[in-house]
Amino acid sequence: MKFFRNLPVFCAAVLLALAAFGVSPASAATKSIILATTTSTQDSGLLDVLIPTFEKDTGYMVKTISVGSGQAMKMGEKGEADVLLVHSPDAEKKFVAEGFGINRRLVMHNDFIIVGPAADPAKIKAEKSSKEALKKIAAANALFLSRGDNSGTNALEKKLWKATGLTVEGQKWYQQTGLGMGETLNIAAEKKGYTITDRGTYLALKKTLGLDILVEGDASLLNIYHVIEVNPAKWPKVNSAGAKAFADFVVSRKAQAIIKTFGIKKFGSPLFFPDAGKKE
């Protein structure tokens, strides 16, 4: 097997190729933070404004991994993220109680809304209670799109369905997309179905959707975002200084001011309401 003699040459070529393209392994490793967050903060564009500001102020590099809140917390549990920005309060409390996270702090809120086609086949428009609205959708066998991905929105949706006492999984009119909020809204628009969304993502996508807000304002539809630092005691590799810097930034006056005005120019109304320091 004389060809094996050439192996070192091949290996050298591979290394050269990497070097030539100037892709060195993460150089500033300690200065980078992994932020696991929800699709809503990414799809609404809020992070595109917040993160560059934070990076400029502190010199950290933020690696934003936008997944559902459920997956974000799973990453935190495994120590594969440094800081979380999520909106799934019940799961968050459990996450902190089990010692995976520390310093859970209130950041902002907006609300969930039930959206659907203008024709409104289940006649839920102007229904005050989200529970009654869902019951009507079920009674009418009207198509309902669920995220089905353990995200914060999905967790809230399941909680609301549970309150109605109905079993919806497996029903023909109840479909799970398994996708992010933006994509699920697009599917709901395309198939003329109902879905539950956070207001931020809805407003950001409104122009292309053709879905109307049908139910809003119910207290059970509050959507609250918290920042949680992953517990470094559990995972020593976590960049706890960076996580703390980011969490402090998100609740700082500067970031809260950005959150307060974000989206007004583009969408006519703010997408999120800053809450740092307030009591829940």
Partner 1 sequence: MDLILEGLLKAFHLIVSLDAEVLGITWLSLKVSGSATLISVVIGISCGMLVALNRFPGKKLLVSVVNTGMGLPPVVVGLFVTVFLWRNGPFGFLDILYTPSAMILAQAIIATPIVMGISIAALQNLPAKLRFQILSLGATRLQMVGILIREARLPLMAAVMAGFGGVISEVGASIMVGGNIMGYSRVLTTATVMETGRGNFDVAFALSIILLLLVFLVNYIFTLIQQRERPR
Residues in contact with partner 1 by CB under 8 A are 1-4, 6-7, 10, 13-14, 17-18, 21-26, 29, 34, 39, 42-43, 45, 48, 51, 61-66, 78-80, 179-183, 185-186, 204-205, 207-209, 235, 237
Residue 90 vs 190, nearer CB to partner 1 = 190
Residue found by looking up tokens 């005005």 in the block = 261
Residue closer to partner 1 by CB (options 237, 279) is 237
Please, what is the minimum distance in Å from the beta carbon of residue 278 to partner 1? 29
User: What is the closest distance, in whole angstroms, from the C-beta atom of residue 78 to partner 1 in the complex?
Assistant: 7
CB of 36 to partner 1, least distance (A): 10
129: exposed, middle or buried (C-beta count within 10 Å: 0-12, 13-18, 19+)? middle
Which residue, 63 or 125, is less far from partner 1 as judged by CB? 63
Phi-psi map region of 63: left, alpha, beta (phi>0 left; psi -120 to 50 alpha): beta
- Of residues 130 and 239, the one with the C-beta less far from partner 1: 239
Rounded CA-CA distance 82/238 in Å is 6
Say if CB 144 and CB 114 are below 8 A apart: no
Strands 222-230 and 194-198 turn out to be: unpaired
CB of residue 219 vs partner 1: minimum separation in angstroms? 29
C-beta of 52 vs 217, nearer to partner 1: 52
User: CA-CA distance, 115 to 132, in Å (whole number)?
Assistant: 14
